């Protein structure tokens, strides 16, 4: 598949300094797009169950992934400026960019697939990361970025992406409610 739609959707890819890592992230997305016959990655919904519940049909996965990546970059850069943190900005960016690649398999438009029902979020993403021959640290970020698994972040990079994802999702939900404790 042509990688240009992925590069266009995620300009943050260019911030990854490691060429192999960047190529692996692109490969994970292009493979997932091809395997699930996605015509336009920018039209993929963010998270259909929440969107239906909250009436937020105009939220898209690419925008969410970019929000998570921007938040994660800012947190990482702040940490690196303020303290001697052992954290890889490349790993944070790559992890943020692939953290929700599984949603291409979990949903067909607004409908859940068998992968969503039987595996749940984000297990297919671990497969996508492994298939792209990305480092295990990225599979860990994918698996630990959500409370829908029992895997807790074991690295600072995974912790940063998890919190960035929670904040970006809360920002979306805040459009439909004034009290985030109710959703």
CB 168 within 8 A of CB 71: yes
DSSP 5-24: HHHHH-GGGGG---HHHHHH
Report pLDDT digits (tens) over 107-126.
998 999 999 989 888 999 99
Query: Which CATH entry fits the domain spanning 4-182: 1.10.3210, 1.10.1060, 1.10.238, 2.30.29?
Result: 1.10.3210
Question: What is the biggest distance separating any 2 CA atoms in the chain, rounded to whole angstroms?
Answer: 45
- For the chain, what's the residue count? 183
Q: What is the pTM of this model?
A: 0.95
- Using the predicted structure, report yes or no on whether residue 46 has a pLDDT greater than 80: yes
* pLDDT given for residue 119 in this prediction: 87
* pLDDT given for residue 76 in this prediction: 98
Q: Which of 11, 128, 117 is nearest to 70 (CA)?
A: 11
Strand partners, 108: 111
Report pLDDT digits (tens) over 15-25.
999 999 999 99
Lowest-confidence pick of 9-13, 61-65, 86-90, 174-178: 174-178
């Amino acid at each position: 598949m042509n990688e240009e739609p992925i590069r266009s959707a995620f300009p943050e890819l260019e911030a990854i300094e490691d060429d192999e890592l960047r190529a692996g992230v692109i490969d994970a997305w292009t493979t997932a797009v091809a395997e699930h016959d996605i015509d336009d990655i920018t039209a993929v919904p963010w998270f259909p169950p929440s969107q239906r519940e909250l009436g937020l049909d105009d939220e898209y996965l690419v925008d969410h992934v970019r929000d998570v990546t921007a938040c994660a970059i800012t947190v990482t850069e702040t940490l690196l400026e303020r303290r001697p943190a052992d954290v890889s900005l490349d790993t944070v960016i790559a992890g943020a960019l692939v953290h929700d690649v599984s949603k291409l398999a979990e949903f067909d438009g607004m409908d859940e697939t068998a992968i969503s029902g039987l595996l749940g979020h984000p297990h297919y993403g671990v497969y996508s990361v492994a298939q792209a021959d990305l480092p295990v640290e990225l599979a860990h970020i994918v698996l630990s970025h959500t409370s829908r698994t029992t895997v807790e972040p074991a690295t600072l990079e995974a912790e940063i992406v998890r919190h960035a994802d929670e904040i970006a999702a809360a920002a979306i939900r805040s459009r439909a409610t004034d009290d985030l404790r109710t959703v």
